[in-house]
Amino acid sequence: MTKIYAIANQKGGVGKTTSVINLSAYLAASGRRALLVDMDPQANATSGLGYNKYEMSPSTYDLLLQTTAVADMILSNAEYGLDILPSHPALSGAEVELVNAIGREYRLQQALEQVNGRYDYILIDCPPSLSLLTVNALTAARDGILIPVQCEYLALEGLSQLTQTVELVRKYLNPNLKIRGLLMTMYDSRTNLSRQVVEEVRKFFPDKVFRTIIPRNVRLSEAPSFGQPINVYAPSSPGGIAYKVLTAELMKGDQQQEVVS
């Protein structure tokens, strides 16, 4: 059964796209069949894997408008061993074009049903907003949402709004939606603030925070400009090691859940 996760946080600059790229890459490196779905009009996940976002046609824009079959949109990256449904800046107009469309919240879910079973993991990169694009991702994410949280002041700001949105989507669109886990990013071990933020988030979300913490790391920031995931660009860097361990933690938790169920 394909695991489908949305990676979302309406607060920008929290390491959301960095996380989706590197989790996908490490899943693929671990022998899992992985698909990255870029649902952000900024298309940073697309460009972060070396593609020119302005040349991506068809893209997830066409996916939402249902003008192209999903199989014709998937790009297979042999170097990284993963597939991607790329984005294009035109995706920003999809929300307006779908304003009167019936079942507009289910467009992504319906599209991914076409590749159900083809992948072990599908990770959806969401825009930094609670828009129709994010709602589509949350509706399609039958196995939950992964929330990157920056280890800085006001880290919890907006999380209450996001959890409310999760509750609404669960009530009306996706009854299986749950918070799979919170991922602490940009951790600076030299500061008391980072440690305090981790403690505070764990207090508010007990048993939901991943043990693995992603450090603030220059190599993680550099990798997208070279169009490479961290396991290719700098696998032995602190960031590379952290995402490898995080991926193992995610897979182990999923395996344990399957045994229980």
Give per-residue pLDDT as tens, 226-253: 999 999 999 999 999 999 999 999 999 9
Tell which residue, 212, 232, 230, has the closest CA to residue 220: 230
Average pLDDT, the chain: 94
How many DSSP H helices and E strands does the chain contain?
Answer: 11, 7
149-175 tens-digit pLDDT: 999 888 887 788 888 889 999 999 999
Which residues on neighbouring strands pair with residue 149, listed in sequence order?
184
CATH code of 168's domain: 3.40.50.300
Find all residues with CB under 8 Å of 185, minimum gap 6, and list them.
14, 15, 18, 19, 148, 149, 150, 151, 213, 214
pTM for this predicted structure: 0.96
Let me know: does 214 contact 187? Beta carbons within 8 Å. Answer: yes
Indicate if the pLDDT at residue 261 is higher than 70: no
- Mean pLDDT of all residues in 119-129: 95
Distance CA 202, CA 210 (A): 9
DSSP conformation class of 129: S
Find all residues with CB under 8 Å of 157, minimum gap 6, and list them.
11
The tokens describing 195, both together, are 């440690």
191-219 tens-digit pLDDT: 899 999 999 999 999 999 999 999 999 99
Pairing relationship of beta strands 179-185 and 3-7 according to DSSP bridges: unpaired
Residue range of the domain that includes 10 = 3-260
Domains contained in the chain, number: 1
